Amino acid sequence: MTTGFAAIPASGSYVLRNARAPACLVEAGSLASDRDGLALLDIIVEDGVIGSILPAGTPALDAAPALDLDGGIALPRLVDVHTHLDKGHIWPRRPNPDGSFMGALSAVAADREANWSAGDVRARMEFGLRCAYAHGTAAIRTHLDSLGKQIEISWPVYAELRAEWAGRIALQASPLFGVDAVTDPAHMQAITRAVTTYGDNLLGAVTYMVPELDAALDTLFRTAIEHGFDLDFHVDEANDPAARSLEHIADAALRHRFQGKILAGHCCSLSLQAPQDEARIIAKVREAGIAVVSLPMCNMYLQDRQRGRTPRWRGVTALHELKAAGVPVMIASDNTRDPFYAYGDLDLVETLREGTRILQLDHSDRDWAKAIAATPAEVMRLPGTGRLAAGGPADLILTRARDWTEFFARPQADRTVLVNGRAIDRSLPDYRELDHLMSRSA
Ligand SMILES: [Zn+2]
């Protein structure tokens, strides 16, 4: 059992003194913040709930038991809006043969066909959830590979896990399949049934520049409108500027006057467009109300890889330009120890640290913490998650780091995670627990 550095008072009600929190994530009137956008606060916890948030040093709190955080950064528990729990941790039995995108696609397809029984999927998803929970994640959206027999295997397992994890991690799932499959009515029937029976009013697909793209998008938007679904797409995960399915999604959203939420993931090729094309596409994305999530670690791993050649491109989308245009932007974990990304642990502190380095989020706005907290919570329709507010749960990540340079320089392995005001066990599951699933078949 490890609960991190902080000695939380045993009583149900206590004060966290001198916590530094990103002002963009705190709902407490106008707060003075420092050059890192951090505000020095006293947070009053009352029986698992945040009673109030006050500027540090407010008198009249002297009687309550207290922990002085000495200026350490406190975050709300975080929100991972793009993951693949069902693919996680298959690397030992199915590594990516060459680190390429096509290598990932074919390796996962072969592994899914051979090994993804309900028991296999459940054990790996649960392992990922335990990692995410220990790191301080409050909510996860996962994509679920949804083709053929896998639909009937993965979705019931997902629904069971969502129920078992309620109160610890809020789960959402979006179906994942190539957009070419939309033209098969039997497939769309099976997908719609899975989403309405086991899902979360969320439909999705991977968009490619196939001839049937616009017709397929029309079907997806019509289905979403008919059933009241939100949409989540994997978009243009490629280095080819001709990959512009993002623009087609925006056109379809405007054509159908879509009122639900739309999230577009990856959008790598947007950053390789000519400036006038990039500006036109971003303006349409803004007008269509599409939010964008970048997956910096996975993009850095897969994109611009050629044997014997040093990569020249970081693989990420034009996130600063999207944000400047008013598009809601976020970053997320994506894959963990599978052929799409060999590493990763569903740790959003790592995602923000690596995202800051890869996307150069520093030396720009001071509100990038929203990208792993309040913004994805809005996309997931989880009001109150990913922010700190009186009346909300006392769900926090506490660290010793007093500014972003201290925060990003170290992995914050000694952080304390509070759920309903109590420090949780931060022990991570041992990979050996999955060894029995890793003997490779087929
Ligand atoms: Zn993905």
Statement: residue 439 has pLDDT above 90: no
pLDDT tens for residues 274-308?
999 999 999 999 999 999 999 999 999 999 999 99
Which residues have CB under 8 Å from 382's CB, separation 6+?
79, 139, 170
Question: Residue 348 C-alpha to ligand 1 middle, in angstroms?
Answer: 15
pLDDT interval class at 29 (50, 70, 90): confident
Q: How far apart are CA 163 and CA 161, in angstroms?
A: 5
- Say if residue 440's pLDDT is above 70: no
Question: Is the four-CA dihedral 316, 317, 321, 322 of positive or negative sign?
Answer: negative
Catalytic residue of the set 27, 164, 226, 237: 237
Using CB atoms within 10 A of its CB, is residue 166 exposed (0-12), middle (13-18) or buried (19+)?
A: exposed
**Token pair listed for 21:** 């929190």
CA of 168 to the centre of ligand 1 (A): 23
Of the CA atoms within 13 Å of residue 259, those in its CB half-sphere come to 4
Q: Which of 368, 358, 349, 345 is nearest to 301 (CA)?
A: 358
Q: What is the pLDDT of residue 397?
A: 98
Q: What is the DSSP letter of 172?
A: E
Q: Are strands 38-46 and 49-55 parallel, antiparallel or unpaired?
A: antiparallel
Contacts of 321 (CB under 8 A, 6+ apart): 278, 279, 282
Give the mean model confidence (pLDDT) for residues 392-412.
98
Cβ atoms < 10 Å from Cβ of 324: 13
The rounded Å distance from CA 82 to ligand 1 centre is 6
CA of 65 to the centre of ligand 1 (A): 44
* Alpha carbon distances (Å) from 381 to 139, 174, 209, 397: 11, 14, 30, 22
- Ligand 1 centroid–CA 373 distance in Å is 18
Dihedrals phi, psi of 139, to nearest 5 degrees:
-150, 145
Residue 63's pLDDT is 72
In this predicted structure, what is the pLDDT of residue 60? 63
Tokens of 387: 């922010």
The rounded Å distance from CA 280 to ligand 1 centre is 25
330 φ, ψ (degrees, to nearest 5)? -155, 170
Average pLDDT across the chain, whole number = 97
Catalytic residue check, 237:
yes
Reported confidence tier of residue 155, pLDDT bands at 50, 70, 90: very high
Distance 199 CA to ligand 1 centre (A): 18
Q: pLDDT by residue (tens digit) across 30-58?
A: 889 999 999 999 999 999 999 999 999 88
pLDDT tier, 18 (very low <50, low <70, confident <90, very high otherwise): very high
pLDDT at 61: 65
Amino acid at 38: L
Q: pLDDT tens for residues 203-259?
A: 999 999 999 999 999 999 999 999 999 999 999 999 999 999 999 999 999 999 999
Count of residues making up the chain? 442
Of all residues in the chain, the percent with pLDDT exceeding 90 is 96
| Distance from Cα 436 to the centre of ligand 1, integer Å | 26
Tens digits of residue pLDDT in 92-134: 999 999 999 999 999 999 999 999 999 999 999 999 999 999 9
Mean pLDDT, range 374-386, rounded to an integer: 97
pLDDT at 59: 77
For the stretch 292-348, pLDDT in tens is: 999 999 999 999 999 999 999 999 999 999 999 999 999 999 999 999 999 999 999
